[in-house]
Amino acid sequence: MENLIESCKESAVQNMEIFLRNFSHVPDDKLTWTPTPTAKSVLRIAAHTALYMGRFAKMIREKQVPQVDSLEAWLSERNSEEEAITSRTQVEEAFRKGIEEVKEALDSLTPEDTAMSLDSGQGWSMPMKFLMQLPGWHTTLHIGQIDFLQTCWGDQEVYV
């Protein structure tokens, strides 16, 4: 179990660092650019990704996925929180704070906890082992979104 926890923490940290590295290459004038009026900007994607670290930590710590009475209200609250982040500094602060929370939450798990399946109350469940890996995996998905947006404005550089 210790190897799984360490692996999940390492993945979360490494993917955050890759995300922040790629995010640092986005020009200031492109932070809020979108390819279409309904698309999310790099800043919005970054805010979403950073804030979810704390949300994942809470789910791991409480051993429960959010119990949502109104999906529309829940999403509206999440959207407002993301929209409130308006700078690179805020993104990085939220990311680093959330990653520390994820690491602490992962460290609190027992072997029994890692074997759990979390019931959503909405007809689906999530294995704790899947949730433990979500911080790193979720970040990887959003790295791809930023990479795509960079190509939309003509940035073909591979940042390593």
Q: What is the pLDDT of residues 12-59, one digit of tens each?
A: 999 999 999 999 999 999 999 999 999 999 999 999 999 999 999 999
pLDDT at 1: 62
| pTM of the shown model | 0.93
pLDDT at 48: 98
d(C-alpha 101, C-alpha 141), whole Å: 20
CB 12 within 8 A of CB 139: yes
pLDDT at 123: 84
pLDDT at 74: 87
Which regions of the chain are under pLDDT 70? 1
CB 5 within 8 A of CB 84: no
Fold of 2-152: Four Helix Bundle (Hemerythrin (Met), subunit A) (1.20.120)
Spell out the domain ranges in the chain. 2-152
